[in-house]
Structure 1
Amino acid sequence: MNNVDVFDRISTLYNSFTKSEKRLADYILKERDQIMFMSITELAEKSKVGESGIFRFCKNLGLKGYQEFKISVAQSINSEENDTTRNIDTEILLNDSLEVLAGKVKQTNISALDQTYNLLDYEDLDKAVEKIITADRIRFFGIGSSLITAMEGQNKFLRVTNKAEVIIDSHFQVMTAAQMNEKEVAIIISYSGQTKDSIEVARMAKESGAFVIAITRFSKSPMTAYADVTLLCGANEGPLQGGSLSAKISQLYLLDVLYFEYFKKTFEVSKENKEKTARAVADKLV
C-alpha cells in the first residue's frame, strides 16, 4: 500500500471501531489541525477516551504508538495543504451557482480517485489478477447501484474473455455462489460491505472454494470477512448519498486497473478476442 493518508485510513476502518473509538475518530477528523500539537493526555481529556484506548486506536491504524500517529497526522495535513482538490469545500449548498456546483462535483470525484489510488495494495491487486487469469469463470456480483458497477465489470472483461458473467437477480446470485468451485473467481461489489445479500453471496462463494475479491470502502466489514482479497475504494458516501457517482467512479477505477493488468498479462489472446468482439458489434452501428 502507498503512503496512506491517516485520515483516509480512519475513514476506511471506521465501521469496525468500537463506540469509544468512533468517538475518538470523530474528534480527530473534526479537529485534525490541532491533534499534532496535543499530548496523549490532552487528547484523552478532550475526546473523552482513555489514554489506553487512544494507544489501542493507534495500533489499529497500523502505527507503533501515539508519537508515530502525530507524525502521520502532520504528514497528512501537509499533503492536504499541497493538494488543491482537498482545499475546496465539496458540500453542495442551496445557494451555490451552477458554476460552483459543477466545480464541487468535479473535485469530489477527483478526490475519490486520489484516495482510492492511495489505498491501492499492489500485492493484492497482482494476486487478484493472477487468479482471474487462471480461473475458468469470473462472476461479478452486486446489489442495487453496485449491480450496475458489476454489470460494467462484465461488459469490460467480456470484450477480451468469454469467462465473464454477471448475475442480476439476488436469489440467482446466492444460488450461483453456492455452486461455484475452486477454479472460479467471485468479484463482489458493495460500498458498505454490510448488504445482507452481498454478505451471503461472499459466504457461499467462499465455502464453495471460489476465490473471493471484495470491492468496498471499508477494510473490515461482514463481507470482507469472507474475502481472499479486499480492494478499497476511497469515496466517502453519506447515508443519503446511496449510489453516488464518486463511489461508482472509485469502483470502476479498481475494475479498470484489474482489466488493464489482465489485458497486459494475456496480451495476445486478449488482443485477438477484443478484435473479435469489436467486429461482432460493428453491424450494430449506423
Structure 2
Amino acid sequence: MTNIDIFSLIHSRYNSFTNTEKKVADYILENTKDVIYMSITDLADACNVGESSVFRFCKTMNLKGYQEFKIVLAHSISQEEETPQLTGKITMQDTIGELSSKILSTNISALTETFNLINEKDISNAIDSMIAADRVHFFGVGASLMTAMEAKNKFMRITNKTECSIDTHLQIMSAALMTEKDVAVLISYSGSTKDTIEVAKVAKERGAKIISITRFAKSPLTSYSDITLLCGANEGPLQGGSLSAKISQLYLLDLLYVEYFKRTNKESILNKESTANAVIEKML
C-alpha cells in the first residue's frame, strides 16, 4: 500500500464517502503535514468526529488502520517533495557536518519541548504514588520496551520493587495480578499501541495507579491514565523508535528517578551503595 498516492486515492473515492468521512478527508487534505504527527484521538477531535469514524475512514481506503494510513501518508508526502527527506529537515544531500548539526538541533528541540510540557504537580503526584506503591511495573513494547527496561535498570539501583516484563504475554499476566497498591508506568509514544492499551485496561480494572509517558495528551492510552507525562519529540510514521523520542522519554524518567531519590534519600543511598558493591567484582 505504501506505493499508492493517498491524495489521488482520497480524491478518487471522495464522492462515495459518507458525510463524516468527507470531514476527515477534507481535514487531511488541508492539514497534511500536521496529520502525520497527530494521534487518532487528535484527528478525531480536530474533525469533530469519533475515533471509530477515523478508523472506518481508514478501512474505507482499504487500510488496516490509522497507523498504516499515516505510513502511506508519509510516503505520499515524500513523493511530492523534490528532495527526498529522511527525518524532519534532514535530506539525502546533507554532509556529515550538516547531519551532526541537524540531529543535535532535533534532540535539543525534543528536550526543550518536553521541559516546557512538564507539569510539576503531575511529577510530584507520580513520585508520591511510586513511593507508596508495593510494586512499580514498567511496561512498553517495541522501542518503548527498551525505554521501560532502561527505567527498570535505573530504579533497581535504589529500590527492589520495580519490575519490567519483556514478553507481551508476561506483561498482560503481570497486569492481571496487580492490586490497588501497585503502580503501572506505561511508555508509548503514540498512545495507540494495542498491547500497551490492553495492559493499561487490565491494570486499571485491578485498581492499580496508571502513569503514562506519551506524546499525545489525548489517546486511547491516556483514557486509562491517572497521570499523564508528555514527551515533546515529533516522530513521523516512518521514524518509529527515533532517538529524539527516546531521549525525551528518558529525560522524564531521569527526572522521576532523581526526585524519587531525593524523597527516599536514606534508603536510596544505602541501596545504591549495596548494588554498586554487588557488581564491583565484575569490573577490572
Taking structure 2 as the reference length, what is the TM-score of the superposition?
0.71
Q: Is the partner of 2:128 in helix, strand or coil?
A: helix
State the match for 1:108 in structure 2: 106
Q: Is the partner of 2:217 in helix, strand or coil?
A: coil
1:1-286 to 2 correspondences below 5 Å: 19=24, 26=31, 91-286=89-284
Q: Is the partner of 1:194 in helix, strand or coil?
A: coil
Deviation at 1:167, TM superposition (A): 0.7
What amino acid is the match of 2:112? D
CA–CA distance in structure 2, aligned partners of residues 134 and 91 of structure 1: 44
Q: Is the 8 A contact 1:90 1:105 kept in 2?
A: no
1:128–1:222 distance in 2 versus 1, CA, 3 Å: same
Deviations 1:164-201 (A, max 9, x none): 11011001101110110011000000000000000000
Q: Is the 8 A contact 1:90 1:107 kept in 2?
A: no
Q: Is the partner of 2:192 in helix, strand or coil?
A: coil
Deviation at 1:26, TM superposition (A): 2.8
Runs of 4+ displaced beyond 4 Å:
20-25, 27-30
1:27–1:148 distance in 2 versus 1, CA, 3 Å: closer
Deviations 1:209-266 (A, max 9, x none): 1000000000111111111000000000001100000000000001011100000000
Deviation at 1:19, TM superposition (A): 3.2
CA–CA distance in structure 2, aligned partners of residues 250 and 21 of structure 1: 33
Deviations 1:60-92 (A, max 9, x none): xxxxxxxxxxxxxxxxxxxxxxxxxxxxx9511
Q: Is the partner of 1:127 in helix, strand or coil?
A: helix
Taking structure 1 as the reference length, what is the TM-score of the superposition?
0.71
Deviation at 1:112, TM superposition (A): 0.1
Q: Is the 8 A contact 1:214 1:227 kept in 2?
A: yes
1:208–1:22 distance in 2 versus 1, CA, 3 Å: farther
Alignment length (residue pairs): 214
- Return 5+ residue gaps in structure 1 as ranges: 1-17, 31-52, 57-88
